[in-house]
Chains A and B, each alone.
Chain A
Amino acid sequence: MGNPNVGKSVVFSRLTGANVIASNYPGTTVDFSKGRLKLEKETVEIVDAPGTYSLEPSNKAEEVATKMLDTADIVINVIDATNLERNLYLTLELLEKHVLMVIVLNLWDETKHVGITIDYKKLQELIKIPIIPTVALTGEGIKQLVNSLKNATVNEKIKPTSHEGRWIEIGTLIKKVEKVEHKHHTFRDRLADITMNPITGIPFSILVILAAFWMVRQIGETLINYLFNPLFEQYYRPLITIISEILGDNIWHTILIGEYGKEIIFEESLGMLTTGLYVPIAMVLPYIIAFYFILSVLEDTGYMPRLATLVDNVFHKLGMHGHGIISVFLGLGCNVPGALSTRSLETRKQRFISATLLSIAVPCMAQTAMVFGVLGQFGVIYIALVFFVLATLYILLGIIMNHFVNGSSPEIFLEVPPYRRPSLQALLKKTWMRIRWFLKEAIPFLFFGVLLINILYHIGVMQVISQVLTPFMNTLFGLPGEATTSLLVGFLRKDLAVGTLIPLQLSAFQLVIAVTMLTIYFPCVATFAVLLRELGLKDLFKSTILMVATAGSVGFILRLILLGFP
């Protein structure tokens, strides 16, 4: 346990070998993860708790942390050595609970850079709890920490006291063990000033975001053109052709590869082995890799809290505060981690607005890939149109919900960590963890989706649905009845809709309507499951009504504007 952004997750990974996401901003860990550590004879379970400033929680993630305390046999209290005074508050609260405890003074190497000297042995004597200085990022001190676990102790002399009492105690401790030298302005300080001062900071943030998206596109396209497409065309196509010949004309061919006798087009043949693999791997994955790598750079340098400060004003008008931008960024990769991160917002109102807007107006990489895949051939202007509609919706709906959703939306109160140089190894590891997660989620759903469409087509259900809905779809949205298929499978995986939309030969404007509605109307099944857990059934129901209503109205309005009156 420990304050946010002190490196608990890094210590945890070092102890257990388990992979957990760590970033340079408070509130990366919103749920606990468990791992195992082998001591001499026994195996112990180690739990990584979300950060909390005190045992009186102020948001859902902190609640998780405080609840976990009751289940622990030994507490490993991780402290940021460069910020001893503030961190000791939680330490004192923990000491008052009389649980077996070990203290980890993490970021030990940083103290030298900022001119702080801590006499940790003296501190250890004073509070009578083992203290181990560590640099978790490099693994320094972890061995000593493991060895010290058996020495975990309780200091019975410490009695519960008031807030004031704790601060007085901390003051006395600090005076005895810590020396701070004044350091001159460093490059990091200047950078911190430039990026936070509104006059320079806002242009800087726009540049950073533009550069980030440009890089994502460059890296993504390069991966597609030079790696994934050649792989699929040169090695995979011959293999599929052979399988096609072996299978012959039957239902298995339709399900696995697509309609027999037709040329195999990976994007639209709608077979499990063709579209089911090509879309996630060769169309979406390259952008996921690129996006998460760039996002990790932004996260690990410590830029995100600064961005949150700069956009706080706008987000406050939408009923949230600046921290909401973190959910948006995570959601642009995949809505699931985005929805989870809403936990670090304080009130139900903020979480509801943030999660609903995320599902409606923040396209995940799969959705973005769908938009690009379907509209790319017509020109950038159509893609821009979709994103313009989504951005407008985010702001408009936010303002509306801020007025009508009950509850309070407290102001931003966020620690801004110092800039840190990200380690390439950590970046690659984090990117890989997120990619693995995508592969595990996306491929099964796509496989299942393709299978389902084929079965529904085969038994004729799709044709019936299409026919019944044709007049409805046509008048309201200017779309053919077959587009219903895309809307149905889009619930499973948005990227799958690419394969069902392309063969319909729609006009550019019709496609704009279709993909915009697809993005808005529902999040995918996986996000839905997370939302159910985070919001509860009642709020999810309200949120869903909003999603469907918005999708319908936006589709209809776009139809009127783009295609004219019926």
Chain B
Amino acid sequence: MTTNSIQLDKIPSKTKAKVQKINGGHGLIQKLQVMGIRTGQNIILSSKQPFRGPITIKINDRELTLGRGMAKKILVEVIE
């Protein structure tokens, strides 16, 4: 894991990032993988809802909403 790793919910909106690691149990990893969130995958953070609301990301042009708690467990590296 590189030093550039940052929790997914910490990056600003409209940022492109690459998934580095999912900090979670087997169940969570499987759940995220099925929806396309996998190590090495490029994603774009499309929007964040205020007051610790859910975040929406874009993977392969598909949008997906996930809670902050889950987002915290996804470590990414900002690409641009």
Contacts and interface: CB of A to CB of B under 8 A. Distances in A.
Partners in one complex: yes
Interface residues of A, number: 37
Interface string A405-428: 000001111111110000000000
B65 A322 contact: yes
A412 B64 contact: no
Contact of B65 (A58, A86, A197, A312): A312
Given A167-B38, A415-B63, A416-B63, A56 B54 contact: no
B51 to A, nearest CB: 6
Contacts of A114: 61
A402 to B, nearest CB: 15
Contacts of B38: 167
Interface in B23-77: 29-31, 33-36, 38, 46-54, 56, 60-70
A321 B67 contact: yes
A53 B34 contact: yes
Contact of A313 (B36, B47, B53, B61): B53
A313 B51 contact: yes
B56 A86 contact: no
B50 A413 contact: no
B64 to A, nearest CB: 6
A308 B34 CA distance: 21
B33 A196 contact: no
Contacts of A180: 60
Given A193-B46, A322-B54, A163 B65 contact: no
B56 A416 contact: yes
Contacts of B13: 197
Residue among A85, A114, A411 with most chain B CB within 10 A:
A411
The majority secondary structure among interface residues of chain B is mixed
Contacts of B31: 58, 413
B47 A198 contact: yes
Nearest to A93: B34
A309 interface: yes
B65 A192 contact: no
B54 to A, nearest CB: 5
A54 interface: yes
B52 A313 contact: yes
A416 B54 contact: no
Given A308-B65, A411-B68, A416-B64, A163 B56 contact: no
A411 B34 contact: no
A103 B48 CA distance: 37
Nearest to A415: B64
Contacts of B48: 198
A355 to B, nearest CB: 22
B60 A309 contact: no
A12 interface: no
A83 B35 CA distance: 10
A83 B50 contact: no
Given A53-B35, A85-B60, A411 B46 contact: no
A89 interface: yes
Contact of B54 (A54, A83, A193, A411): A411
Contacts of A413: 31, 35, 64-67, 70
A contacts with B: majority SS: helix
B65 A309 contact: yes
Contacts of B34: 53-54, 86, 89
A81 to B, nearest CB: 13
A264 to B, nearest CB: 54
A310 interface: yes
A167 B33 contact: yes
Contacts of A197: 13, 47
Contacts of B62: 83, 86, 415-416, 418
Contacts of B29: 163
A186 B78 CA distance: 25
A481 interface: no
Given A411-B54, A414-B64, A414-B65, A196 B46 contact: yes
A312 B67 contact: yes
Contacts of B63: 192, 196, 415-418
A305 interface: yes
Given A163-B30, A197-B47, A312 B64 contact: no
B50 to A, nearest CB: 5
Contacts of A82: 61
A89 B52 CA distance: 31
A316 to B, nearest CB: 8
Contacts of B47: 193, 196-198, 201
Contact of A85 (B36, B49, B56, B70): B36
A201 B49 CA distance: 10
B52 A416 contact: no
Contact of B69 (A58, A193, A411): A411
Nearest to B64: A415
A97 B40 CA distance: 29
Given A89-B33, A313-B53, 16 more contacts: A54-B30, A58-B31, A83-B62, A85-B36, A86-B35, A163-B33, A196-B46, A201-B47, A313-B52, A322-B54, A411-B68, A412-B54, A415-B35, A415-B62, A416-B65, A418-B62
Interface of B: 13, 29-31, 33-36, 38, 46-54, 56, 60-70
22 contacts: A56-B30, A83-B62, A193-B46, A196-B63, A198-B48, A198-B49, A198-B53, A310-B49, A312-B49, A312-B67, A313-B51, A313-B54, A322-B65, A410-B67, A411-B67, A411-B68, A411-B70, A413-B64, A415-B62, A415-B63, A416-B64, A418-B62
9 A-B pairs closest in CB distance: A411-B67, A416-B63, A313-B53, A53-B34, A309-B65, A196-B47, A414-B65, A312-B54, A54-B34
